[in-house]
Structure 1
Amino acid sequence: MNLHISDTFSTALPADKDTSNTRRQVKGAAFAYVTPRVPSNPKLLHFSKEAAALLGLSEEDCKSDEFLKVFSGAEVLTGSKPYAMCYAGHQFGNWAGQLGDGRAINLAEVVFDNKRWAMQLKGSGETPFSRTADGLAVLRSSVREHLCSEAMFHLGVPTTRSLSLIETGDLVLRDVLYNGNPAYEKGAVVCRIAPSFVRFGNFEIFAARQDIPNLRLLADYVIEQFYTEITEKSELKYVELLKAVAENTRKMIVEWQRVGFVHGVMNTDNMSILGLTIDYGPYGWLEGYDPSWTPNTTDRENRRYRFGNQPNIAVWNLFQLANALFPLVEKAEPLQEILEAYRDAYYVDYERMMLAKLGIINKQIDDVKLIEELENVLKLTETDFTIFFRNLSKIDRNTKLDADFWQNHPLNEAFYAPENLVGDVKTAWENFLQNYIYRIAEENETQRQTKMAETNPKYVLRNYMAQLAIDAADAGDYSVMTELHEILKKPYDEQPEAQKWFAKRPEWARVKVGCSMLSCSS
């Protein structure tokens, strides 16, 4: 296994002078050196061939003893100095102060094929930022992160990647529902990779401590490494940085909304400076269309991170980043202009995305009304988000909304309770569908079908699917996880052999732990 290590973050930014692995406030430093915990009996459960190829690793490399040792934390890679990042954040809208990598350890940066990848173990033990936690992760959450990272990539959503999933052989105590019933679960470690794991919170910690030299050092590092298109030399380059981050964040959020993904914990410490989906905790996909749905039990009361509010939270988080960058600019107006422009740009992107989901290519002025009408009727009865949009393509200009349609058309597969399609509800649906049929009569049918097939996935990682993989893995059966991993590589393909996974959430999954709402426990 030959990895070309070329660290930049840990060489360009200051390390904590204290090298002990003790819980503490780390000041004047961007990270602290730390060694991963050695697991008792590591076992490789799965790896992504595609993610491995990014690092220049073959399938044989991934099956080697060296791979198992390095990516379980049992052995430190020759030439590397693992570390945990220091950052702060706003959690559920409240300032939380120092947070940092409490259960993540950065192994090294690797360069292959002229691209740089940071490798990070999640669940590999305590760090100075672990606070009262143990720094470990359980199999349950690790399966979810491993599957989802790769699924999101193949959906076309900006994301971190997952290289490997390794069981540690150790038991980890967790209270799944935070209800005073802790239990031991199997421990696991995921190796995730990304160009960088720098977050909004990395900037917030320096700004909050008025450590302006290190704040500037970090901003310059991010620009030089990841935003090379910024050529401004004055303090305005930090304005350009915010603009670029806002643009990448907006693109990410639009993609979340397109596929019905809900992150669940959009704290500022979970926001990538590169606009990547990061930190897969209590995430979920919309089953029935519901803008108020959140998968996070911690967010059950206020629903701050609900599906329909994700665009607004992105702006709120960018505002916090702007506040953190302000000491480098000392002018509020240019930063404010970027935040104000974000909303307008988002709605333009959102409308374009929704029209693509509807297969409307040649935009007309009244199309926004059709989108609004659709969003309203989707709320009238429980309608599966993924199935609805995938099967909507099977309506064409010749579709008749007669009795046969309401009994046999594939669109009906999306309704959880077809018996509710009566009276005013049915009338509203018929009005929308008739308006849609009139509208698509003006589109090229072949182009419409192609656009819809490219925009609306057939297969997404529904929570119940992930839970089935978790239950099987917990019993020592990794076939379900492997099957889902393969299917989710081609989410837009028909894959008739995988048809059983193109189905509404089963009734048993409404109340089963892990299938409806989830906690942050891992």
Structure 2
Amino acid sequence: MSDVLSYIESLLSPSITAALPGAGHSSHQPQQTPGKLWHRCDPTPVVAPQLAIYSQALAQELGLPPGFADDQAFIAWLAGNRSLESSPAFANCYGGHQFGHWAGQLGDGRALTIAELCHAQHRYEWQLKGAGPTPYSRQGDGRAVLRSSIREFLCSEAMHHLGIPTTRALSLVSTGEAVVRDVMYDGNAAAEPGAIVCRLAPSFIRFGHFELLAARQEHDLLKQFLHFVMDREFAALELGHNEQGYAVFFAAVCQRTAQMIVHWQRVGFVHGVMNTDNMSILGLTIDYGPYGWLDNYDPDFTPNTTDAQKRRYRFSQQPAIARWNLICLANALAAIIDDHDIFRDGIALYDTQLSRGLAQMYHDKLGLPPESNTANSPAPIVTSLLQLMTQFEIDHTLFFAALSAPEVTLQNLYPALYDSNAKAALAAWFADYQQLS
């Protein structure tokens, strides 16, 4: 065995498969799996795997040995062409609400967990995305194209370095195989290069895990799963398996979700598909699909072409959708928790943390003095700015980047304007801003 894989094996820790029921035989056959939270599934080997790119920062964080990028056995493992006998791969089972409607069982359709390890007092779950079909692939092939894989790799690492809670990406392996996709959903499918991303997180548990167990009325398993998540994912809180522990747990999930949303709004990130199966119980940005970023400030912007008409997941709606998703989680947990004030209090905490977080975030982006912070709502100077940016389609990123200059002038802000008619209105706002800053 290679030095890198030996190192990986030395850090392995028990996974969900050791604590909770699942299907222990490997299968790729699509199926419903009641009473099971996971299903063993081996990755499907690829023809010609090559390591295309990797995150040096994450590799260092993991303590990977020198030369890991040249270790062919390690690369084969990242491609799904090799497995560790001590860490069999598996797919997670969960459900979810998609675009506001219950979708039933979903699960990891093209992701496989290949290891869980602990290093420097941090736990990392390793997943391969695009490693072939799983029992939850439904009609899909379980593969990923190079185009979307590059997007996930770059964005997840960028989000991390922007200070946003997120899954990470260690590597991108090109497979040497073609994957057929209908990019524009117009019936014109075409072959594209395939790829596999190795992504990491402390946990990939989602709101949808709880929802599916509740929908199936598997209440004993739901309670067992809840206690497992409380004990492992929220160990630092030392939660008891009682009403008080449940209250602290749900409050923590609400708080982390609010913090994540504030970060999204800070950088103009639009997730694009905030279904409950894409909501991390740890408040991490997860599942980079049709995401996008604001160019001109447009509260109604969504990068998801399938959401272009109703725009359910548009930029301005993200805080409300996260709240709706938390209510879905609460409804699932209400099947086993009698004190429903726990959920009302948690949602109220989300509202408070969100409003305070957004107000503080915009206060910081504008560099306003402490006395101008109104705590629970953006200062009037912020409200007027956002109205101005919406009306004249001012570039979100360019504007705030220019505003962060040590000696900002009105002229510094002009490159963010797409409409020259905005100059007079911007000058009036800037005069008010200078009186505060």
Q: Which moved more, 1:209-218 or 1:186-195?
A: 209-218
Matching residue of 1:431: 428
Call closer, same or farther: CA 1:245–1:365 in 2, change over 3 Å: closer
Distance 1:266 1:355 in 2: 27
Alignment partner of 2:336: what SS? helix
After superposition, give the CA deviation of every residue in 1:64-90 in whole Å (9 maximum; x if it has no partner): 101110000000024111000000000
In 1, Cα distance between equivalents of 2:154 and 2:405: 30
Shift of 1:362: 1.0
Q: Say whether residues 1:392 and 2:417 are aligned partners.
A: no
Q: Which amino acid aligns with 1:209?
A: R
Partner residue of 1:274?
A: 282
Equivalent residue in structure 1 for 2:213, among 184, 206, 219? 206
CA distance in 2, matches of 1:274, 1:50: 22
Task: State which of 92, 96, 101 in structure 2 corresponds to 1:94.
Answer: 101
Q: Paired residue for 1:250? A: 258
Moved more, 89-98 or 341-350: 341-350
Is the contact between residue 55 and residue 111 of structure 1 (CA under 8 Å) also seen in structure 2? Answer: no
Amino acid at match of 2:45: V
Alpha-carbon distance in structure 1 between the residues aligned to 2:137 and 2:119: 32
The alignment's TM-score, normalised by the length of structure 1, stands at 0.79
Match of 1:314 in 2: 322
**Does the CA-based 8 Å contact 1:21-1:127 persist in structure 2?**
yes
* Paired position in structure 2 for 1:175: 182
Conservation of the 8 A alpha-carbon contact between 2:43 and 2:132: yes
Q: Which runs of 4+ in 1 moved over 4 A?
A: none
Distance 2:418 2:66 in 1: 42
Which residue of structure 1 aligns with residue 307 of structure 2?
Answer: 299
2:126 is the counterpart of 1:129: no
Match of 2:83 in 1: 76
CA contact (8 A) 1:36 1:73 kept: yes
Aligned with 2:290: secondary structure?
A: coil
CA distance in 1 between counterparts of 2:280 and 2:392 reads 36
Displacement of 1:55 in angstroms is 2.6
Cα separation, partners in 2 of 1:361 and 1:214, compared to 1, 3 Å: farther
Which whole-Å CA distance do the structure 1 matches of 2:66 and 2:159 have between them?
22
Deviation at 1:321, TM superposition (A): 0.6
Structure-2 separation of matches of 1:238 and 1:184: 49
Aligned equivalent of 2:418 = 416
How many angstroms apart in 1 are the aligned matches of 2:373 and 2:256? 27
Q: What CA distance in whole angstroms lies between the structure 1 residues aligned with 2:132 and 2:59?
A: 23
Shift of 1:143: 0.3
1:437 alignment partner AA:
Q
Preserved CA contact (<8 Å) 2:273 2:313: yes
Question: Residue 207 of structure 2 aligns to which amino acid in structure 1?
Answer: F
Distance 1:20 1:123 in 2: 16
Q: Which residue of 2 aligns with 1:103?
A: 110
Give the drift of 1:144.
0.3
Aligned to 1:382: 393
Deviation at 1:371, TM superposition (A): 1.0
**Structure 1 CA distance for aligned equivalents of residues 142 and 133 of structure 2:** 4
Aligned equivalent of 1:358, options 350, 353, 366: 366
Tell me how far apart the structure 1 counterparts of residues 371 and 227 of structure 2 sit (CA, whole Å). 41
Whether the 8 Å CA contact 2:362–2:382 is kept in 1: the answer is: yes
Deviation at 1:18, TM superposition (A): 5.6
2:356 equivalent in structure 1: 348
Residue 139 in structure 1 maps to residue 139 in structure 2: no
1:328 to partner: Cα distance: 2.1
Q: What whole-Å deviation, never above 9, does each CA across 1:485-505 have from its counterpart, x for those lacking one?
A: xxxxxxxxxxxxxxxxxxxxx
TM-superposed deviation, 1:380: 1.8
Residue 482 of structure 1 corresponds to which residue in structure 2? none
Following superposition, the deviation at residue 17 of structure 1 comes to 5.3
Matching residue within 243, 247, 265 for 1:239: 247
Deviation at 1:233, TM superposition (A): 3.6
SS at match of 1:378: helix
Residue of structure 1 in register with 2:167 after alignment: 160
- CA–CA distance in 1 between the matches of 2:170 and 2:424? 50
Between the two proteins, what is the percent identity of the paired residues?
45
- C-alpha change, 1:232 and 1:106, in structure 2 (3 Å) is same
Q: Hey, what's the Cα distance between the residues in 2 that align with 1:317 and 1:230?
A: 25
**2:20 is equivalent to residue 13 of structure 1:** yes
1:232-287 deviation digits (Å, cap 9, x = unpaired): 34133222211111111111110011111111110000000100000000111100
Q: Is 2:152 aligned against 1:150? A: no
Match of 1:325 in 2: 333
One-letter code aligned to 2:55 = S
User: Does the aligned pair in 1 maintain the 2:25–2:41 contact within 8 Å?
Assistant: no
Q: Provide, for residues 104-151 of structure 1, a one-character-per-residue CA deviation record: whole Å limited to 9, x for no partner.
A: 000010111221100000000000000001000000000000111110
Q: Which has the higher contact order (CA 8 A, sep 6+)?
A: 1
Distance 1:412 1:74 in 2: 53
Q: What is the CA–CA distance in structure 2 between the aligned matches of 1:45 and 1:17, rounded to whole Å? A: 33
Partners of 2:63 and 2:225 lie apart in 1 by: 28
1:196 corresponds to which of 189, 193, 203: 203
User: 2: CA distance between counterparts of 1:160 and 1:354?
Assistant: 25
Kindly report which structure 2 residues correspond to 1:7-86, keeping only aligned pairs within 5 A, or say none: 7-16=14-23, 19-86=26-93
1:184 correspondence with 2:191: yes
Gaps of 5+ in 1: 400-404, 441-522
1:287 and 1:385 in contact (8 A); partners too: yes
- Alpha-carbon offset, residue 335 of structure 1: 0.8
Instruction: Report the 3-state secondary structure (helix = DSSP H, G, I; strand = E; otherwise coil) of the residue aligned with 1:337.
Output: helix
Distance 1:84 1:139 in 2: 22
Q: Which amino acid aligns with 2:433?
A: Y
Q: Given the alignment of the two structures, is residue 216 of structure 1 paired with residue 223 of structure 2, yes or no?
A: yes
Would the aligned equivalents of 2:363 and 2:373 in 1 still touch at CA under 8 Å? no
Aligned to 1:117: 124
Following superposition, the deviation at residue 349 of structure 1 comes to 0.9
Q: CA-to-partner distance for each residue in 1:155-192, whole Å, 9 max, x for gaps?
A: 00000000000001110010001100000000000000
1:289 match: secondary structure: coil
Whether contact under 8 Å (1:16, 1:28) holds in the other structure is no
Measure the CA separation in 2 of the matches of 1:230 and 1:93.
34
Whether contact under 8 Å (2:91, 2:134) holds in the other structure is: yes
Gapped regions of structure 2 (runs ≥ 5): none
Q: Hey, what's the Cα distance between the residues in 1 that align with 2:302 and 2:65? A: 39
Cα RMSD, aligned residues only: 1.5
